[in-house]
Amino acid sequence: MADGKYPLIAREGRAHIAIALGAAIAVHYTAGGGWALPLWLAVVFVVQFFRDPPRAVPQAADAVICPADGKVIALGEVEDPYLKRPAKRISIFMNVFNVHSNRLPVGGEVKERWYHAGSFLNAALDKASAENERNALWLRTAEGQDVVVVQVAGLIARRILCYVEPGQRAERGARYGFIRFGSRVDVYLPLSTRFEVSLGDKVHGATDIIARLGR
């Protein structure tokens, strides 16, 4: 299914792009292109950071789709700190050149949302999952499977945005949030889940299947 609901540039970036573009134009007009070059490069950076391309979402019933563009930095069995259960976790690190729109890994009901203020450690560090600023969603699929997806702020990230609340029904692959300037996303899954990615894999939000839910 093609995802065409969102513009090519995320709405979260419109003000940032306008400011960068206005500054570049003003300096170019008053001082010349040489002085304005760094500002034009800043415009290019800001536009690429806030890009939000449409994606084709896989429709397999057991698919857990990737919640973010980036690199798989952790796979394994851990204690889910939100549902207090043994779980499998997949962690995806986003650098400043990745698309930063966040997508829901499964469809279902949003059961709960937790926000924790915290530090701004390098998001590639494992302890960032427990110590950094983070926003977690508990999703329950139609088959009764519980999945938790966590937005984790990074070293220079300073704002986590989330647009869904408990009680809402959500579609797999739907855009639900954004993290500004470098971060990670953790996904906690039932132990019966089968991983479909490996450490170090580069993955794409909404299009890649990162796991399969067991039955």
Catalytic site residues? Answer: 183
Query: 111 near 170, Cβ under 8 Å?
Result: no
Query: If we measure between CA atoms, which residue out of 191, 198, 195 comes closest to residue 72?
Result: 198
Judged by DSSP in three states, 26 sits in helix
How far CA 76 is from CA of 8, 41, 89, 188, 190, in Å, comes to 34, 40, 6, 10, 11
List of residues 6+ apart from 94 with CB closer than 8 A: 68, 69, 70, 100, 123, 154, 179, 182, 183, 184, 185
